[in-house]
Structure 1
Amino acid sequence: MTGAVLAVEIRAGFYLDSVALMRISRAVSDLPGVAEAALMIGTEANKSLLRDAGLLDSRGEGAGPDDLIVAMRAGDEAAIARARTLAIELLDAPRAAAGAR
């Protein structure tokens, strides 16, 4: 995507099971203007996947296995803002808490 904006955020000490994270990633990726979104725990294996996809920056590199990486690529800042808002809503939703630790 030309002129793509990358946003990477870390939620320290945050865990949600992988099925819930995949569902949230898909919902965020489906937003208009969002090219890609991935929410993954900061294990070395997951960071390698994000790095290979071009979704990891220095913040993500610093995440540890007890942290959640929220990575999004979109066409512009407005799409990133929408993606961030939805990701936060879904991460904090009561039903997501069932998979949280």
Structure 2
Amino acid sequence: MSNLGPTELIIIAVVVLLLFGAKRLPDTARALGQSLRLFKKETSNMKDDVEAPTVVTTQAEPVAPQQVTAATPSVEDRLRLLEEENRRLKAASEPTVNGAPAAQSQNDQRSS
């Protein structure tokens, strides 16, 4: 059922060429290759992590458990921190006029 002959491969190549165009086809192929390389690298890293032997060290004297000095942040705290970071990054990426956000300076000019 999946026997692709030369005619089918040529038809597929023509359709891909028509969809992406001759100019974008090399960029698309390059991006696909980079994605595959990244995928292979990550899967090999996962395999290495799974297959890596765990190192067990023995100590001469038992060590007292460390006391936790700061409480582990809750899920709500983590979400709040992520939202604050998202707002900060969004504000940093917005265009500014004389240090003020461009949208605010446009509103100021309209009101004057």
Q: TM-score range by the shorter chain?
A: under 0.3
- Structure with greater helix percent: 2
More strand by share: 1
With the length of structure 2 as denominator, give the TM-score of the two structures: 0.23
Larger RCO (CA within 8 A; separation ≥ 6): 1
